[in-house]
């Protein structure tokens, strides 16, 4: 694409994340998970995408340190799934393994602002009581058990979601989050 330059930190990314960004005209550069924040920021991206991926987020100690540096920048960030969990850990929150994961359409996620509902698939969750209310606010919850499914970071241009807005095949009802990321980059560029 010839639009916004997006740095995608590959934590186990799905190709449809890349396609979703390219569909919106973005020039996407994929960085391996062990890339330093300095290298990513040195390439002067308009936005940073933290991808989904497998495993226990607490094991990603070095990646969490680099994500904290990305958080401290002024670059808009959108994080999905594992990226969502790692951003929370980088800002002082905690995660835990769920006894039973959320799998499929019978685990609806609700956007607290719009009321829209989608589904998700994950086995780790951010512990709500560990979120600093001065750092982030809950933006999505699981309708059934009220676990955290998304965060908006205060005084930052950062949104994270536990579920997969790029899911395909599957629900397309949260693809608007990619459009919102485009708006965040546009706002940051015009600031």
8 Å CB contact between 54 and 19 = no
User: Which of 26, 60, 81, 122 is labelled catalytic?
Assistant: 81
User: Which of 60, 66, 149, 166 is labelled catalytic?
Assistant: 166
- Among 52, 25, 51, 29, CA closest to 40: 29
For the four alpha carbons of 3, 185, 170 and 59, in that order, the dihedral sign comes to positive
Residue 179 CB neighbour total at 10 angstroms = 12
User: Which of 84, 102, 122, 164 is labelled catalytic?
Assistant: 164
- Among 191, 111, 107, CA closest to 144: 107
- Among 44, 3, 7, 42, CA closest to 23: 3
The verdict on whether 166 is a catalytic residue reads yes
Measured in residues, the chain has a length of: 191
The verdict on whether 164 is a catalytic residue reads yes
The verdict on whether 122 is a catalytic residue reads no
Q: Name the residues annotated as catalytic.
A: 81, 164, 166
């Amino acid at each position: 694409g010839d639009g916004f330059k997006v740095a995608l930190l590959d934590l186990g990314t799905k190709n449809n994340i890349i396609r979703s960004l390219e569909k919106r005209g973005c020039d996407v550069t994929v960085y391996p998970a062990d890339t330093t924040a300095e290298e990513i920021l040195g390439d002067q991206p308009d936005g940073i995408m933290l991808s989904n991926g497998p495993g226990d987020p607490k094991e990603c100690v070095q990646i969490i340190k680099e994500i904290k540096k990305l958080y401290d920048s002024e670059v808009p960030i959108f994080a999905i799934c594992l990226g969502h969990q790692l951003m929370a850990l980088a800002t002082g929150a905690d995660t835990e393994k769920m006894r039973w994961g959320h799998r499929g359409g019978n685990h609806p996620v609700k956007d607290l602002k719009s009321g829209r509902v989608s589904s998700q698939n994950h086995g780790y969750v951010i512990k709500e009581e560990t979120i600093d209310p001065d750092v982030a606010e809950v933006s999505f919850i699981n309708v059934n058990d009220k676990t955290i499914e998304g965060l908006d970071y205060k005084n930052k241009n950062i949104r994270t979601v536990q579920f997969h807005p790029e899911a395909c095949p599957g629900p397309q009802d949260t693809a608007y989050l990619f459009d919102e990321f485009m708006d965040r980059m546009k706002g940051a560029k015009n600031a």
